Homo-oligomer: A and B are copies of this chain.
Amino acid sequence: MASPKVQDRDLLCRLSKVFRQHGYEGASLSRIAKATGLQRASLYHRFPGGKEEMADAVLAYVDELFGNDLLAPLFSDLPPAQRVKEMAKRLRGFYERGQASCLLDTMSLGGEEDPIKRHVAKSFDAWLSALAAVAREAGLTPTLARRRAEDALMRFQGGLVMARATGNIKPFERVLGELPDLLTKKEDD
């Protein structure tokens, strides 16, 4: 065919759902084929490197989503707390109010060091740096800004784990609401 049955971005979006939900090992080609509507062999045409290339492409796709959409408000000209609030709003949608897992979490399972784990670590650090940058612009010292960024991301990830494990999404929602103060106020209250 001239044009693909599923466009690249749509394909990556569907792929990302499988990897987010099941992790790398749980994302079997059967599940992927079912979720994308493509047969196994068609997937190998799109991703000659097989499952590992799919995983890497999904990580790159999510990197792009974060850079161009989810974290973009952090670099606007609004007041820092407003920027964080807008990011929280977008994250809330992306993570389906706590009902979807984080790719960086589910793809980091298993022991060995491999290219995927290295990609995950890089993406995580980029997210941390973006949070720390807005905290510094809010007037926090670099050290404190970094610590607050780490706290914010820990609470966020923990909220997602708790939502997945217990089905209770309220703590996750609370974390989202606390992010602006956490990342911009000089003292906790």
Contact = CB atoms under 8 A, between A and B. Distances in A.
Given A26-B26, A150-B171, A188-B189, A104 B165 contact: yes
9 contacts: A22-B25, A102-B161, A120-B165, A150-B162, A150-B174, A154-B162, A154-B171, A154-B172, A155-B155
A49 interface: no
A107 to B, nearest CB: 8
Copies of chain A in the complex = 2
A73 interface: no
Contacts of A174: 147, 150
A101 B105 CA distance: 11
Nearest to A178: B151
A125 interface: yes
B109 A166 contact: no
Interface residues of A, number: 42
A171 B147 CA distance: 8
A185 to B, nearest CB: 11
A111 B106 CA distance: 13
Contact of A161 (B121, B128, B157, B188): B157
A135 to B, nearest CB: 15
Contact of A157 (B101, B153, B162, B189): B162
A82 interface: no
Interface string A37-72: 000000000000000000000000000000000000
A110 B125 CA distance: 26
A175 interface: yes
Contacts of A109: 21-23, 26, 101, 106, 109, 164
